[in-house]
Amino acid sequence: MLRLSGKAVYKGVVLGKVVVVKKNEQPVKRIKITDIDAQISRLEKAGEEAQKQLRKLYNKAVKEVGETSAAIFEVHQMMLEDEDYMDAIHSMIRTEMVNAEYAVAVTGDNFSEMFASMDDDYMRARAADVKDISNRLVQNLMGQGEVDLSAMEPSIIVAEDLSPSETVQMDKEKILAFVTVHGSTNSHTAILARMMNIPALIGVPMDLDEIHTGMNAVVDGFCGEVIFEPSEEICVQAEEKMRDEEEKLLLLQTLRGKENVTLDGHKINIYANIGSVGDIGYVLENDAGGIGLFRSEFLYLGREDFPAEEEQFAAYKQVVQTMAGKKVIIRTLDIGADKQVDYFNLGKEDNPAMGYRAIRICLKQPDIFRTQLRALLRASVFGNLSIMYPMITSVEEVRKIYAVVEDVKAELDRAQVPYRMPEQGIMIETPAAVMISDELAELVDFFSIGTNDLTQYTLAVDRQNERLDDFYNPHHKAILKMIRMVVDHAHKAGKWVGICGELGADLELTEEFVRMGVDELSVAPSMVLKLRKAVREISFSD
Ligand code: PEP
Ligand code: MG
């Protein structure tokens, strides 16, 4: 039995089998070889393995996202057979007498650079694909083929770290819990775990060589513990806790259909945050009044190329239609920082959280923005859709956004494509936006306060840095004063204001937020009914 502690990002208990997900982080070494044929045969075997993996991925993707999006895996299969690419690897092994993985890695880099420098957009986008297939070959050569999660039973995922793009690719039905060595409580991986309602522990000092796939484990998000190979007694206790939790959740279900109203009649909207169309089920299950934040960038993660307008349109349409007239606030692309996507070719930055991200990308690369806006406007006729823009710091940015929106509207008008102009709001998540919120309020229909980034930028604490978790204090007076200021400015201009950062779900602050006059709290679906319960117990006269 091995008992370890970590930081819980979602409270809950599970008992299940472990799957260890290891990533290839070993550097590829250049090794002088003598047996060329042996290296060529290793390369061929790795290539066959890669073809098999890609075929599987293609079949899975066809079922889940359709043929057009799955086609990328066919492209990869073809690239693996490309003569120029393969000849270059063979030639390097022969002439330089080096190991196959080194020859693949170097050739992959050379080809990828060559594609990246081409004029043609399509060819440029292939740079990431060559990198991808080269990495796949290297992984297979180093005996670290990917873990096939498609065939696994619901399991506890144990890993060194998980990026948001890895997390979104996982089949949520198959994950009982996450346990990672690294990660910060405010990262998007943690947010995803909360959204998925699954216990998650981060910062667990595990030696992954000691933990094996197939082990039993208990993950207890209440006391922040994971117990590998638990005793019979601990399993029984865990099962009891799971039953208790189940009962509490059932009790909360009695609040479905009830109003979010204090004992003295103050009402507040409680909406849910989602990251994918698949999350709507949780929204409905938990009786949220709407969707206060659809992080649309998750549609862009964990894939090989930009989602086309049609694909985005279908996703937005499905969300607004399923919500049947309830408010759905879709945030435009907030990529960058910890949400990295290879095909954006964002490049390495020293300070990605303060870098080229979110609305900055949209304003600098308007084609990407226009595609999303077209999809959003077209989806607007199917329900109650609002658009929200992230990372705003100035009035000029909002004006520039509106100019792009006007352009897109004119384009749709010319093509006689129907749309209904949605409400447009902005995230208040930079101190600059707080300080000019009086001016911004005149320009927009609503505000939603992003306390995750607002805390990061106000306290100068990188939300990704696990060593700073103790310094990341969203209860800081400065943050609460800022929220109050934003609420006052919004109301003065007759606009409504919500909170969609994680702080909105903090039950210690619910009463304070209601007293401040916050109009909406948008939280992980699993928190909606807990928040409703808290609101219904508040009495202003106390
Ligand atoms: C926030 O910053 O509070 C927010 C809601 O956005 P995200 O967590 O996606 O950055
Ligand atoms: Mg943010």
Task: List pLDDT tens digits, range 24-73.
Answer: 556 788 888 999 999 999 999 999 988 988 888 788 767 766 677 677 78
Across residues 179-183, what is the average pLDDT? 91
Q: Is the CB of 167 under 6 A from ligand 1?
A: no
Mutate to test the pocket of ligand 1, among 294, 299, 300, 427 (most ligand atoms within 8 A of CB): 427
pLDDT digits (tens, 9 = 90+) for 355-374: 999 999 999 999 999 999 99
Tokens of 530: 């807990």
Helix and strand numbers (H, E) in the chain are 19, 16
Which segments within 197-340 are labelled E, that is strand?
Answer: 200-202, 216-220, 225-228, 269-274, 291-295, 327-331
Mutational test site, ligand 1, from 331, 500, 521, max ligand atoms within 8 Å of CB: 500
Of the given ranges (143-147, 266-270, 356-360, 390-394), which has the lowest mean pLDDT? 143-147
Count how many Cα atoms sit within 13 Å of the Cα of residue 425 in the half-sphere of its side chain. 27
Question: pLDDT at residue 147 above 60?
Answer: no
For 231-245, write each residue's pLDDT tens digit: 999 999 999 999 999
The residue whose two tokens read 């059932």 is 250
Helix (H, G, I), strand (E, B) or coil at 96: helix
The predicted pLDDT at position 168 comes to: 73
Nearest ligand to the CA atom of 455: 1
Model confidence at 460, pLDDT cuts 50, 70, 90, reads very high
Query: Does the structure show a pLDDT above 80 at 403?
Result: yes
- 456 C-alpha to ligand 2 centroid (Å): 9
Atom of ligand 1 nearest to the CA of 429: 2
Q: How much is the pTM?
A: 0.76
Residue with the smallest CA separation from ligand 1 atom 8 is: 452
**Which one, of 532, 5, 472, 484, lies nearest residue 222 by Cα?**
5
Query: Across residues 161-165, what is the average pLDDT?
Result: 78
Q: Whose CA is nearest to atom 9 of ligand 1?
A: 295
Mean pLDDT, rounded, for 79-105: 92
The residues annotated as belonging to the active site are: 188, 500
| Residue 216: strand, helix, or coil | strand
Ligand 1 contacts CB of residue 452 (under 6 A): yes
Residue 64, pLDDT score: 63
Tell me the percentage of the chain whose pLDDT exceeds 70. Answer: 96
What DSSP string runs through 133-155? HHHHHHHHHTT-PPP--TTPPSE
pLDDT tens sequence across 102-126:
999 999 989 888 888 888 777 777 7
Taking residues 259-268, what's their average pLDDT? 96
